[in-house]
Amino acid sequence: MLASSHNQVLVVCSIIVAILASYTALNIASRVSSASGRSAVLWLVGGSFAMGFGIWSMHFIGMLAFRLPIALGYDVPLTLLSLLIAIASSALALYLVCQDKLPWGRLVSGGVLMGPYPFDPRR
């Protein structure tokens, strides 16, 4: 196994980005639920981008903090696809939490779709 380490400054930066993204997402969720019509849709779209970029940035900064004794690189199309997935997942999450009624079925399905998978496919 290769010896690895983390750049502590980047780890702290990732934590700060996560905190700011969480606060922004909660703030925008309250705006989406209090708005109606076109403004609600615009808040949902804007919130999806803000939350998606925040989640993606936090993870990407965390990956940049990881150091190995070998050269690493990133596949640009795959990296951009991961950003689009983060934005789409954020749109789904904001949509689900901003409904007037949140029945258990919708809550469970949203949790299953948004939650982390309990396995690591690389093993």
Give yes or no for a contact between 51 and 3, defined as CB atoms under 8 angstroms apart: no
Rounded-to-integer distance, Cα 78 and Cα 80, Å: 5
Question: Which range has the top average pLDDT, 6-20, 21-35, 96-110?
Answer: 6-20
pLDDT for 118 equals 54
Q: Report pLDDT for 8.
A: 93
pLDDT band at 81 (very low <50, low <70, confident <90, very high): very high
pLDDT in tens, 14-23: 999 988 988 8
Question: What was the pLDDT predicted at 87?
Answer: 92
Q: Calculate mean pLDDT across residues 27-37.
A: 85
Angle at 91 between CA 87 and CA 95, to 5 degrees: 170
The pLDDT, as a whole number, for residue 114 is: 63
pLDDT at 108: 77
Average pLDDT on 73-79 reads 88
**pTM, 2 dp:** 0.78
Q: How many CB atoms lie within 10 A of CB 107?
A: 13
55 vs 53: CA distance, rounded Å? 6
